[in-house]
Copies of this chain bind each other. A is one copy, B any other.
Amino acid sequence: MLKLRSSPPSPFGRKVKLAAAILGLKDRIEIEDANTADPSDSLRSQNPLGKIPALILENGDVLYDSAVIVEYLDFLAGGEKLFPAGEARFAVLRNQTLADGIMEAAILRVYEKRFKEPKYRDPAWDAYQAAKMARGLAYFEANVPAEPSTTADIDAGTLTLACALGYLDIRFGGDWRSGHPKLVAWLDAFEAAVPAFTGTKVPPAPVPDNDPALLQ
Contact = CB atoms under 8 A, between A and B. Distances in A.
Contact of A93 (B48, B68, B128, B135): B68
A196 interface: no
A97 B65 contact: yes
Interface stretch (A111-119, A162-170, A175-183): A111-119
Interface string A182-216: 00000000000000000000000000000010011
A68 B48 contact: no
Contacts of A65: 97, 101
A93 B83 CA distance: 16
A48 B215 contact: no
Given A68-B93, A115-B125, A116-B122, A98 B48 contact: yes
Interface of A: 44, 47-51, 61-65, 67-68, 71-72, 75, 87, 89-91, 93-94, 97-98, 101, 105, 115-117, 119-122, 124-125, 128, 131-132, 135-136, 138-139, 212, 215-216
7 contacts: A48-B101, A62-B94, A64-B94, A68-B94, A116-B122, A120-B120, A120-B122
